[in-house]
Amino acid sequence: MAKLHIRKLGDEALRKVCRPVDNITPRTLTLLDDMLETMRAANGCGLAAPQVGILRRIAVVEVEEGQVYELINPKIIAFSGEQEAEEGCLSIPNQWGITHRPMNVTVRATDRHGNTVEYTASGLLARAFCHEIDHLDGKLFIDIAKMEE
């Protein structure tokens, strides 16, 4: 595994809409592993492929240690409720803002084995899923946040 370079605000890759993954290849699996290592090394709870310069619909999330979600072509298929909380991003260091996100989400994705999976989440995990999926559409949390001074 290898730590990857996390792109920072201003890098055009962060504003691109990512392409779907058509085939899961050994390169896809290596990317998932490298993204997880990179996210953990940066003390993050999520990382999307465009944050490391790869314009594919791939993200990893880990809000509880050891509970890793690898998301290939993720889509939010249901959401409810609302939460307001502070949010940050590895690509925008030292900046925080208050965002409104759904309290509960259900995400459908493909896992590393090519299986369709669904995860229903609430609270921080729901927020992390939304944040990472936004990255895949070229959206950053600062687009919707009330920024703190």
Residue 39 lies in a domain: yes
At 2, list the tokens: 């290898």
Residue 122 lies in a domain: yes
Residue of 65, 87, 132, 149 marked catalytic: 132
Residue partners of 140: CB distance under 8 A and separation at least 6: 9, 14, 15, 89, 91, 92, 134
pLDDT the model gives residue 1: 72
pLDDT the model gives residue 2: 86
Domain count along the chain: 1
Is 64 designated active site? no
> pLDDT in tens for each of the 149 residues of the chain?
789 999 999 999 999 999 999 999 999 999 999 999 999 999 999 999 999 999 999 999 999 999 999 999 999 999 999 999 999 999 999 999 999 999 999 999 999 999 999 999 999 999 999 999 999 999 999 999 998 65
C-alpha 2/C-alpha 45 separation (Å) is: 18
Q: How far is CA 115 from CA 39, 76, 94, 108, in A?
A: 24, 17, 37, 10
Residue 35 lies in a domain: yes
Cα dihedral 57, 45, 92, 75 in deg (nearest 10): 30
Give the CATH number for residue 143.
3.90.45.10
CB 135 within 8 A of CB 50: yes
